[in-house]
Structure formats: structure tokens, C-alpha cells
Amino acid sequence: MRPLGRGREVTPGTTVLAHLHRSNGYDVYDAWNEPRGCRVIVKTLRPDRLRRPAMRRALLREGRALRRLVHPHIVRGYEVHTEPRPAFVMETLTGETVGHLIETATRPLGAAELANLGSHLASAVRYLHREGLLHLDLKPSNVVAEHGRAKVIDLSHARPAGRLKPGIGTWCYMAPEQVRGGDIGPAADVWGLGIVLYDAALRTTSLADVADDLDVDDPQLHVRLPSLRRGRPRLPRALTDLVDACLEPDTGARPTIDDVMRRLYDLASR
């Protein structure tokens, strides 16, 4: 079934301006919200997925989480609807994803930019953890850079810490323990933050490249990524050492999110 067309009401008081994206289960729209008098983003089930209760529950869980969470580095949720279709309304962000910037930038991010990006992500992740959630899907395409501020989007995989099935997250951005499944805790998001900074610094999708080179499905279970210092020797050692520490395969060897945030804010202020 085709996405809703321009002018169609997608939630009460909100009409479609344009269809932005279609995934396996969801449609995302640029829309006009009449009560607020502004543009918004609406995420809803695809018309041909309305009879999928698991997808419905996941969408509503994400929307309710975003509406509850209020943080300057997490996209703001406004409304959650069950009728006429499951959907939630959130703020429009005008920046670009870090993934897009990696692909199109004419130069790599400098030390201050990387530290600033990392400190914003660490602040958002720390808040999520204190609210009882792990993000579990930190990746460049889930971070929007807008006027010098990074905002985390897409909480579709967010879960409380605990025993989780294998593979919750995105293939080349999951921590090793997410790939295996089992007891998953805050260290998984520390690893996710580390891989975002690693890829942003090198302007590459590092683990996907490793998977191609080694012809393996889960490269994070087979190799330890080379030190960031090898690829960016001019970056401050304090920054490259921190990113490397976040990517330790052993969860106990990774720094805590509080330590990561403190060290990144210190580097960003230099």
C-alpha cells in the first residue's frame, strides 16, 4: 500500500506535507501540526502493517518514551496516538545526521568537534540510563547535528537493562554483547558512543569494512578495531585513548558513562 499523500490527516490535527522515509514497518512524514502551528515529524505504522501487534507495541513504546523524556540532546516527542492509526508526533530537526556529514564533509572532524559531539551523546545516554533505558542503537544516522548541538533520535530499540535476545540494534554498530545476547547493561551504550566517534573521526563505517575484509557476519566478535591513533595520529591522545577504551571487547574494561561524559566535557572545553 502506498504512503499517505499530501494533505491527508495522519493524526488528529496533523496533515501530511511529504513522505520522508519507509522502513520495513514504518512510515515517516513531514507534517503540519495545526494545534502548534508548526511543522512536525510523524512516525506511524505502514498501512500494510496495521495488523502487526508487535510492531504496534514497539511504535507506541518508542513514542511514549520520547514524550516522557525531556533532554536537550534527545529529540522531543509531542503526542502519541492509537487512532486512526498508531503514530507519534515529534519535533522537526533542521540539521543533518552525522552519517550524512561523514559521507559529504570535505574534511574530517577536528578534536574539538569530536569532543563536543561525544559530550552531547554522553549527556543524552547518561540521562537515558538514569531514566531506566538503554538506547542500544547509537550510530551516525541516529544522531542529528543542528546548530552545533547533537540530538539523539530513534528509540525504537531502547530497552531497560537486563537479559535481552541476540541482535537488538544495528548490525555494524552493536556492542559484542548485543550480538551475542544475554545480560546487557550500560556498557553497551558506551561501546555505541565509542563506535560513533571512531567512525566520525575516520569518516568510514569501520566494522562494515572489517566484515567485508574478513568475510564474517559479526566482526566485533572476531577482531579488536585498530587504535584510533593509527588513523588520526594528530588527535589528542586523551581523546583517542578514551575512544579506544569505549571499544574494549570486555564490558568491565570500558569506562562508565559518567567518566566518559566528564572526560569529553573536559576535552571540549580546552
Active site residues: 137
Q: Cα–Cα distance between 240 and 165 in angstroms, integer?
A: 32
Q: Cα–Cα distance between 141 and 153 in angstroms, integer?
A: 9
Q: Scanning the structure block, which residue is given the C-alpha cell 536537550? A: 72
∠ Cα 56 41 139 (to 5°): 75
In terms of residues, how long is the chain? 270
∠ Cα 86 141 157 (to 5°): 45
- What are the residues whose beta carbons fall under 8 Å from the beta carbon of 167, sequence distance 6 or more? 174, 178, 179, 181
